[in-house]
Amino acid sequence: EIVLTQSPGTLSLSPGERATLSCRASQSVSSSYLAWYQQKPGQAPRLLIYGASSRATGIPDRFSGSGSGTDFTLTISRLEPEDFAVYYCQQYGSSPPSHTFGQGTKLEIK
Amino acid sequence: EVQLVESGGGLVQPGGSLRLSCAASGFTVSSNYMSWVRQAPGKGLEWVSVIYSGGSTYYADSVKGRFTISRDNSKNTLYLQMNSLRAEDTAVYYCARLGHYYGSGSYSLAFDYWGQGTLVTVSS
């Protein structure tokens, strides 16, 4: 079973700053099956990035994803007030089919 | 407009059963991969189950043998039958569509639409 470890657990930044969130897999993951989600309190998660680097529909271009193998990164170039939330990475494994989420990174206002 | 609306959550005693429903609109459930994802209070996301368009079903080890995912094509609705419930099953349960994405010679899967969630509390 693949384990996804996100770091840091909490990231404290100010609006306008750049955020870099990490997701490390316990073994190599197909980039095609690596996604990132944003979740605000009391809301369902929202898809941000699929295929490690493709933005979902309606996602601003300040959000970008990168990485391959075991190391993936979500970058928010300039933080807006509405970006402060919890972010999860997620991967799909095919044998047998299963999905794994990281434990999340909380992005809070400094 | 795509919409997913869950219902059926509530308070149930340990060992009890509950059936969750997820009514979909804006797309056809039977033509898509559909999943249940849960979130315990104050915790992260945990995948629970998936049903493929062809009808194959898969489960997380934590629920295997106790939960059953199904769908009613005539009602365009997804279900999760939960039996032998335990305290650790307490969570908000979300239904989600597993979308397929094609581009630049690659194929991706991701949970692209989510319901608002329904709370299941297992307690005596």
| Number of H-type helices and E-type strands within chain A | 0, 10
**Residue B15: other Cβ atoms inside 10 A:** 11
Chain B residue numbers touching A88 (CB-CB < 8 A): 44-45
- Confidence at residue B1, expressed as pLDDT on a 0 to 100 scale: 95
pLDDT in tens, B2-40: 999 999 999 999 999 999 999 999 999 999 999 999 999
Q: Is B64 exposed, middle or buried (0-12, 13-18, 19+ CB in 10 A)?
A: exposed
pLDDT at B103 over 90: no
Residues of B with CB under 8 A from a CB of A: 35, 37, 44-47, 50, 52, 58, 60, 94, 99, 101, 103, 106-112, 114-117
Task: Pull the structure tokens for residue A14.
Answer: 């100010």
Q: Return mean pLDDT, chain B.
A: 96
pLDDT at B104 over 80: no
Gap between the Cα atoms of B9 and B20, Å rounded: 6
pLDDT at A88 over 80: yes
Helix (H) or strand (E) holding A52: none
pLDDT in tens, A17-53: 999 999 999 999 999 999 999 999 999 999 999 999 9
Residue A37: CB partners within 8 Å, gap ≥ 6?
A: A45, A46, A47, A48, A87, A88, A89, A90, B45, B111
Task: Pull the structure tokens for residue B98.
Answer: 């597993």
- Confidence at residue B102, expressed as pLDDT on a 0 to 100 scale: 84
- Confidence at residue B105, expressed as pLDDT on a 0 to 100 scale: 73
The torsion region of residue B5 among left (phi > 0), alpha (psi -120 to 50) and beta comes to: beta
b/e map of A41-80 (b: 16 or more CB within 10 Å)? Answer: eeebbbbbbbbbbbbbeebeeebbbebeeeebbbebeebe
| For residues A65-83, average pLDDT | 97
pLDDT-derived band at A96, boundaries 50, 70, 90:
confident
Å from B64 to nearest chain A CA?
12
Task: Pull the structure tokens for residue A51.
Answer: 């295929």
| For residues B43-48, average pLDDT | 98
Is the preceding omega at residue A15 within 30 degrees of 0, hence cis? no
| For residues B99-107, average pLDDT | 82
